Amino acid sequence: MFSKSCEYAIKAMIFVAQKSDNETRIGVKEIAKGTDAPEHFIAKIMQDLSRRKLIHSVKGPNGGFYMDKQDLMSSIADVVRAIDGDKIYSDCVLGLKACSEKNPCPVHHEYKEVKKNLIKMIEKNTIGEFKEKLDSGKYFLKNN
Amino acid sequence: MFSKSCEYAIKAMIFVAQKSDNETRIGVKEIAKGTDAPEHFIAKIMQDLSRRKLIHSVKGPNGGFYMDKQDLMSSIADVVRAIDGDKIYSDCVLGLKACSEKNPCPVHHEYKEVKKNLIKMIEKNTIGEFKEKLDSGKYFLKNN
DNA sequence: AATAGAGATGTTTTCAAAATCCTGTGAATA
DNA sequence: TATTCACAGGATTTTGAAAACATCTCTATT
Ligand code: FES
Ligand code: FES
């Protein structure tokens, strides 16, 4: 579905959303722990997210990552597009070069419904909303 | 979504369904051409499908693969389970060890709907039905 | 029985994703 | 302005799926 990088990215976004604000920045180490991701790997992903303006970063002492009000409005889809590109939108489920109405694979019409739902799911909900969920304590970003 | 092997497997099943019956068996080379799959790779996949009893095979001269009436009743889900196991059913979209109600990731409830649709899609339709579709000429197993 | 066709099985190679390592750069603080 | 903290970014290594290769086994045909 999503690449490993993308899974980490989504979790990191939700994690930072929950733990930080403009005042308290959060470091790579803490993100890695909080999301069960390899530290160096998540560091690289955070860079990508930062370059894509999905999250803010501050260098130096007391630096780290944080999200402002607008960052919280990003959707999962924004994160997915930043990391995995638009392959969720364009890939054929049976591996044809592109998913299209003109050259549909046998499962295309059945898959179309699934895809529509999937896209709705990742576009509808914002990171901010998931942060709220996490606050309730009923959801988890890692095992244990 | 599905592994490359699984994509090939589904395409091969539909292809053989269309091209063969108990009399005419179809060889690995033809399957590879018809599905745009690497010959040696698809050969291995066909073995798996055969071992899992999803398709029949005959060795020796005039041998090859074919499907009987019952084989045509297999669902895409049967093929997916044979090749990819049950990870479609058990994987968490954010990479937690397992997707569960007890330890749900923040996207779990939203994803549940998507997953339900996906499973319905692969369980509802039989290979035989996709063969019919292909016969109509409006669907394709490969590009060009 | 010998031959050749065709799948079955096992091993090796290739390649891209994932993970790691290392050096660079900006910012805060003393 | 020197130092140190923490992100930025390139280069490299590791890993596992995908693909290719080689060999074995079975069977129809002669
Ligand atoms: S063409 Fe295969 S899913 Fe659309
Ligand atoms: S727990 Fe993540 S999808 Fe169910």
DSSP string covering chain A: ---HHHHHHHHHHHHHHHH--SSS-B-HHHHHHHHT--HHHHHHHHHHHHHTTSSEEE-STT-EEE--TTGGG-BHHHHHHHHHTTHHHH--TT--SS--SSS--TTHHHHHHHHHHHHHHHHH-BHHHHHHHHHTTS--SS--
Indicate if the pLDDT at residue A20 is higher than 90.
no
pLDDT tens-digit readout, A68-109? 999 999 999 999 999 999 999 999 999 999 999 999 999 999
**CB contact B83 to A (< 8 Å):** no
- B-chain residues within 8 Å CB-CB of A142? 96
B41 occurs within a structural domain: yes
Distances (CA, A) of A108 to A94, B8, B55: 9, 15, 23
Whether residues B106 and A138 touch (CB distance < 8 A) is answered with: no
The C-alpha atoms of residue B9 and residue A118 are separated, in whole angstroms, by: 24
Q: Which nucleotide is nearest to A65 (CA to C1')?
A: D7
Q: Tally the domains of chain A.
A: 1
Instruction: Count CA within 13 A, CB hemisphere, residue B82.
Output: 25
State how far residue A118 is from chain B, nearest Cα, in angstroms.
Answer: 6
CB B91 less than 6 A from any atom of ligand 2: no
- Cα angle B53, B72, B85 (rounded to 5 degrees) comes to 50
B107 occurs within a structural domain: no
B13 occurs within a structural domain: yes
A37 occurs within a structural domain: yes
Give the number of beta-carbon pairs within 8 Å between A and B: 95
3-state secondary structure of B23: coil
pLDDT tens-digit readout, B44-98? 999 999 999 999 999 999 899 999 999 999 999 999 999 999 999 999 999 999 9
User: Which atom of ligand 1 is nearest the CA belonging to A115?
Assistant: 3
**Domain of B72?**
4-91+126-135
A100 occurs within a structural domain: no
Q: For the CA atoms of chain B, what is the radius of gyration? A: 17
Q: Protein B36 CA to nucleic acid D21 C1', in Å?
A: 19
**CATH assignment of the domain containing B45:** 1.10.10.10
A25 occurs within a structural domain: yes
- A-chain residues within 8 Å CB-CB of B1? 1, 91, 93
B131 occurs within a structural domain: yes
pLDDT tens-digit readout, A22-73? 779 999 999 999 999 999 999 999 999 999 999 999 999 989 999 999 999 9
- How far is it between the farthest Cα atoms of chain A? 57
The C-alpha atoms of residue A86 and residue A55 are separated, in whole angstroms, by: 20
**CB contact B11 to A (< 8 Å):** yes
For the full predicted model, state whether its pTM sits above 0.85.
Answer: yes
A111 occurs within a structural domain: no
